[in-house]
Amino acid sequence: MSDNKNSSGDIFHDEWRTCLQAHYHHVVSTGDSITEESLRHVLLRIGFTEDDIDAMKQTALRGDSSAAGDHEESDQPRMQSLF
């Protein structure tokens, strides 16, 4: 029987990491230094290295949104603001 869990035992681990990467990209891109500081701690706690985070920051500062999972065309439905 196939199991979709990763080594941490959490089936959503990879999605959670991808979400945090995209959030970090947004935080850096918008210059939110307060959130960046606390988010760095979270990223380190879940297994990203300082080098990983520095690379994500450089990508965000270059404005490369494709690395943050911000793909223009996606099979996933887009959420729209209710306001």
**Domain extent for 54:** 17-62
50 part of a folded domain: yes
| Domains in the chain, number | 1
4 part of a folded domain: no
Instruction: Indicate the residue type of 46.
Output: I
Query: Is the pLDDT assigned to residue 64 strictly greater than 60?
Result: yes
43 part of a folded domain: yes
Q: Are 36 and 24 in contact (CB under 8 A)?
A: yes
Give the tens place of pLDDT for each residue, 2-25.
444 456 677 898 999 999 999 999
Q: Are 20 and 46 in contact (CB under 8 A)?
A: yes
pTM of the full predicted structure? 0.67
Give the tens place of pLDDT for each residue, 42-60.
999 999 999 999 999 999 9
Grouping H, G, I as helix, E, B as strand and the rest as coil, residue 64 is coil
Question: Please, which pLDDT band fits residue 67 given cuts at 50, 70 and 90?
Answer: low
